[in-house]
């Protein structure tokens, strides 16, 4: 079965708040606010095959923000090389009264629209991502569950690819540039291998005992390179995840 990539849920990437000490309301949270186009309400699409695992449908949406938790129904691949389940919370969508727990979506399906329910100055979504299948609140603000909505958060941009056809409008917040990654940004070409094939290894070493049998790389092959450590690159190639010698990989232009 093919490795499904995890994607950002909007087609226009327009960062309106990052995280950490520099941020306004995301200080304790690896959360990103995405605003899409500057006018209207942008659509929000399923980031992966998923199901609704938690819903917060407040009666007073002027005061409290709608929130939907989506958990992947299969393992998904991330730009940092993670392959596993992910849960994403999406806060502030405009209208979710008809949503039900357990509803499933295929990747790319339209789920809802961004909005400004709760504390929001304009249409956007606030997303948080966690590894695994646990959906839950992690923080209350003034007695009300607010924006900090997922446990064991990770940086969304490390775990979600930007779709190749996405328009990237803004990735900088308060002078800090967040690293949004398209698959083409980390696609490399195999070059100058003196004796083919270039083996792919289970472990980050070149011992013959760790060679993944039956597969190998030839000059001209393309791989996704997630990272390099001690001259070994962690890569993906045709449904294989493993390590190979980094010096034979060249960034695809
Ligand atoms: Zn936010």
pLDDT band of 135, cuts 50, 70, 90? confident
**Residue-averaged pLDDT of the chain:** 93
CA of 2 to the centre of ligand 1 (A): 33
Q: What percent of the chain has pLDDT over 90?
A: 82
- The answer to whether residues 17 and 46 belong to one domain is yes
> Are 202 and 108 found together in one domain?
no
Beta bridge partners of 155: none
Per-residue confidence band for 162, with pLDDT thresholds at 50, 70 and 90:
very high
Distance 234 CA to ligand 1 centre (A): 33
What distance lies between CA 153 and its chain's CA centroid?
12
CB 74 within 8 A of CB 96: no
Residue 142 maps to which CATH number?
2.70.70.10
- Quote the tokens at residue 59: 């009666």
246 has pLDDT over 90: yes
Distance 148 CA to ligand 1 centre (A): 8
Q: Which domain holds residue 212?
A: 185-251
| Ligand 1 mean position, distance from CA 10 (Å) | 15
User: Does residue 91 sit in the same domain as residue 202?
Assistant: no
Examine the pLDDT at 51 and tell me if it is beyond 80.
yes
Q: How far apart are CA 47 and CA 247, in angstroms?
A: 33
- As for how many domains the chain has, the answer is 2
* pLDDT band of 191, cuts 50, 70, 90: very high
Residues 127, 69, single domain; the answer is: yes
Domain boundary among 144, 179, 214: 179
Task: State which of 179, 202, 227 marks the end of a domain.
Answer: 179
More confident residue, 18 or 139: 18
Taking residues 38-43, what's their average pLDDT? Answer: 92
DSSP line for the chain: ---EEPB-S-SEEEEEE--STTSSS-TTS--EEE--SSSS--EEE-SSSEEEEEEE--S-TTTS--EEEEEESS-EE-TTS-EE-EEEEEE--S--TT--TT-EE-TT-EEEE-B--SS-SSSBEEEEEEESS------EETTEE-S---SSEE-HHHH-EEPTT-EEEE-EETTEE---EEGGGGEEEE---SSSPEEEESSSS--GGGEEEEEEE-TT-EEEEEEEETTEEEEEETTEEEEEEGGGEEE--
154 Cα to the center of ligand 1, angstroms: 15
Q: Which of 141, 161, 179 is the last residue of a domain?
A: 179
Q: The whole model's pTM is what? A: 0.94
Same domain, 115 and 211: no
Q: Looking at the predicted structure, is the pLDDT value of residue 147 above 70?
A: no
User: 174 and 53, same structural domain?
Assistant: yes
Ligand 1: centre distance to CA 213 (Å):
46
What band does 30 get if pLDDT is binned at 50, 70 and 90? very high
Query: What's the pLDDT score for residue 252?
Result: 80
Beta 12-17 vs 86-91: how paired, if at all? unpaired
pLDDT in tens, 73-112: 999 999 999 999 999 999 999 999 999 999 999 999 999 9
**The domain spanning residue 215 has which CATH number?**
2.30.30.40
Residues 174 and 197 in one domain: no
Looking at the fold, whether 171 and 205 belong to one and the same domain comes out as: no
Do residues 8 and 122 both lie within one domain? yes
In terms of domains, do 172 and 193 share one?
no
Q: What is the pLDDT of residue 138?
A: 72
| pLDDT tens column, 205-222 | 989 999 999 999 999 999
Give distance in angstroms: CA of 126 to centre of ligand 1: 4
């Amino acid at each position: 079965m093919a490795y499904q990539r995890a994607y950002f849920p909007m087609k226009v990437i327009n960062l309106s708040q990052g995280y950490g000490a520099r941020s306004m309301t995301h200080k304790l949270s690896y959360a990103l606010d995405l605003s899409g186009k500057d006018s209207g309400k942008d659509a929000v699409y399923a980031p992966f095959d998923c199901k609704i695992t938690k819903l917060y449908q407040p009666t007073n949406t002027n005061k409290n923000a709608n929130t939907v938790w989506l958990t992947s129904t299969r393992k998904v691949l991330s730009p940092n090389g993670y392959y596993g389940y992910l849960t994403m919370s999406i806060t502030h969508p405009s209208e979710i009264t008809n949503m039900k727990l357990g509803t499933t979506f295929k990747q790319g399906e339209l789920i809802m629209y961004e909005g400004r329910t709760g504390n929001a100055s304009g249409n956007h979504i606030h997303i948080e991502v966690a590894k695994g299948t646990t959906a839950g609140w992690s923080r209350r603000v003034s007695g009300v569950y607010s924006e900090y909505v997922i446990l064991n958060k990770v940086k969304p941009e490390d775990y979600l690819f930007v779709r190749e056809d996405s328009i990237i409008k803004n990735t900088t917040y308060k002078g800090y540039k967040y690293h949004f990654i398209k698959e083409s940004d980390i696609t490399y070409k195999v070059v100058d291998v003196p004796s083919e094939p270039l083996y792919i290894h289970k472990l980050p070493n070149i011992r013959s005992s760790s060679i993944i049998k039956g597969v190998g790389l030839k000059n001209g092959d393309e791989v996704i390179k997630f990272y390099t450590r001690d001259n070994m690159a962690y890569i993906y190639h045709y449904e294989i995840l493993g390590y190979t010698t980094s010096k034979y990989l060249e960034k695809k232009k």
